[in-house]
Amino acid sequence: MTPRRPSGTNWAGNVRFSARELRRPASITELQDLVAGSDRVRALGTGHSFSLLADTTGVLVSTAGLPRVTDIDRARRTVTVGGGVRYGELATRLHPAGLALPSMASLPHISVAGACATATHGSGNTAGNLATAVAAMELVTADGSLITLARDTDGEQFAGAVVSLGCLGVVTRLTLELVPAFEIAQYVCEDIAAAEVSRHFDEVFGSAYSVSVFTRWQAGRDVKVWLKHCPGAPGDPAPPPRGRSWLGGRPADGPRHPIPGLDPAAATGQLGVPGPWYERLPHFRLAFTPSSGDELQSEYLLPRAAAADTLAAAAGHGERLAPVLQVCEIRTVAADELWLSPSYRRDTVALHFTWIRDQGAVAPVLAGLERDLVPLGAGRTGGRCRASRRRPFGKCISACRISRRSPASMTRPGPSRTTSRRNSSPLPNGLVPGPARLIRRTWCAHPDVRACGGRRIGSGLGESPNVRRRRFLA
C-alpha cells in the first residue's frame, strides 16, 4: 500500500509537529504570498525525517500541492521537476523517454527537493549524492521573491545553495542532469562474515554498479550484500558465480528483504532478473510501505579512508546493538563540490541504522556508538536521530539571514569554526551579502571543525530584535 503518515507528524510518527498551521499551496504565486505574509516558515516534503529538522512554531508548508512539473529536454538530457514530485513518479516519466537518473536512494517515495536539500544518497563508488545531479534550482525566498540559481552561471553560490536544509527558501523547481536509460540486474549474497567485508572492502564495493551491505553486527555470518549490476556496461564486473562461494558466503536462493524476517514482496526484483533502473536501484517498491514502516533511523558518514576502523568500531558494539537494531546498511558515496555535503571533497562510507521504534532504548546505544565514531570523522545526517547536540560542520553557508526587508545573504567562512566573514562580491538574483552566525551542520567534511559545538538546528541563524525574521529549514 502507499505509505501514509498521521496528520501533524513525520513519516515515522515519532515527531509531532508544533507548527501553528500546515499549509499546502497549489501554485507558486500562492506560495509566494504565503511566505511573504508569515513570520516563520519551514518546508515539508514527504516527511521522511526522524528528527526535529522540519519542525517549526510557525507555518509548515507542504510542497505536495505545487504543480507536478516534469519538463524533459531530450537534447540536453535534463528534466525540470517540481520540488514536491517524488522520485518514483519522476522515474516513470523519464524511462519511456529513454532517460534515467544515475542514482537513486533506497526509497522512491521521497520528494526530489527534500532529498537534494539534505544530500540524500544511494550507493556506488562513482555515485555522488542525489544533489550532485542538480544543474539549476528555483526557490521562493523570505520576501516572497522567486529566484533561480544555476551551476553554469552562479558558480560557488550555487554550490553553497543546493544542499542547504531549506535554509535559503522553499525550493519550487529543480533541473536535474540525466543519462541514457539502462537496466540493472540485482543479486543478493548472504551468510558472509563481517570480517570478510572489512578485509575486502574495496573489492566488495567495487563489485557492482551499486553495492549495499546489510548486517546486524552479530557474530557469525549475518551479512548480506546487495549487488546491482549494469549488464553490458563497459567495466561492469561479472555477477557472483551461481552455486559457488563468494567471500565465504553464497548467492541467495530466493528474494530477500533487507531486514531479516520481513516479507520480501516489498523489495525490488532480485535473482539477477534485469529490469529498468528505477525498479532495481531502490531497495523498495513504490507501491509498498518502505523498510519496516515502524522504525527510527540514524546515519553516520565517515571518510572512506577510515572504513576499516569504522567497521571495527561498529562491530565492537554488537552486543549492545542487538536488542534495538533491525538492520544496518553500509554504503559508499563519491566526493563532490557541494559545500554542505557530507561528501564535500572526500569519498565517504555511510552507516545507516534502522532501529526499533523506542527512542528511550535507542538513545544510550547511540551515545556509545557516537563516542567511537566521531573521533574517526563521523558526522550525522540532518533528518536522522542522534544522541548528542554537538554539530560538527564542514564548509558552511554562514550568512543565512532570511528576513522580510532583505533577501537571503550568504558568506563563505574559512576553516575557523568560530568566525564568519563578509563576502564582498555581489551575489546573483538580488541576493545581498551580510554577516550571520554559522549554521551548525549535522555532518562534518573538514577535520579542523570536529570539536565545534552547536545549538539545535536552526538556532544558528543570527536574529536581530528590530528585523522581522524567517527561518527556512527543510
Spatial CA neighbour of 397 closest among 424, 430, 426, 421: 421
Query: Which is more confident, 434 or 9?
Result: 9
How far, in Å, CA of 113 to CA of 138, rounded? 10
DSSP 382: T
Look at residue 243 in the predicted model and tell me its pLDDT. Answer: 67
User: What is the sign, positive or negative, of the torsion defined by CA atoms of 385, 111, 278, 206?
Assistant: negative
Q: What's the pLDDT at 293? A: 61
Per the listing, cell 523517454 goes with 97
Phi and psi at 295, nearest 5°, equal -160, 170
- Count of residues for the chain? 474
Tell me the pLDDT tens digit for each residue of 74-110: 999 999 999 899 999 999 999 999 999 999 999 898 8
Among 161, 460, 202, which Cα is nearest to 347's?
A: 202
> Please, which pLDDT band fits residue 460 given cuts at 50, 70 and 90?
very low
Rounded to the nearest 5°, which phi and psi values hold at 276? -55, 150
- With a pLDDT cut of 70, the percent of the chain lying above it is 76
Residue 164's pLDDT is 87
- Greatest mean pLDDT range, 2-6, 231-235, 251-255: 251-255
pLDDT at 333: 97
pTM for the complete prediction? 0.80
**Domain 183-335+351-362, second-level architecture:** 2-Layer Sandwich (3.30)
Q: Does residue 418 surpass a pLDDT of 90?
A: no
pLDDT band at 350 (very low <50, low <70, confident <90, very high): very high
* CATH class of the domain at 70-180: alpha beta
* Strand, helix or coil for residue 29: helix
Task: List pLDDT tens digits, range 238-270.
Answer: 887 776 788 999 999 999 999 998 999 999 999
Asked if 160 and 223 count as a contact pair (C-beta separation under 8 A), the reply is: no
Give the model confidence (pLDDT) of 190-200 as tens digits.
999 999 999 99
Q: Where in the chain is the domain with CATH 3.30.70.2530?
A: 183-335+351-362
pLDDT of 426 above 70: no
Q: What is the pLDDT of residues 462-474, one digit of tens each?
A: 222 222 223 333 2
Strands 21-23 and 59-62, how do they pair? parallel
Q: Where in the chain is the domain with CATH 3.30.465.10?
A: 70-180
Of 82-91, 101-110, 330-339, 410-419, the poorest mean pLDDT is in 410-419
Residue 227 has pLDDT above 70, yes or no: yes
Q: Collapsing DSSP states into helix, strand and coil, what is residue 310? A: helix
Query: What's the confidence (pLDDT) of residue 93?
Result: 96
Give the pLDDT confidence score for residue 442 in this predicted structure.
Answer: 30
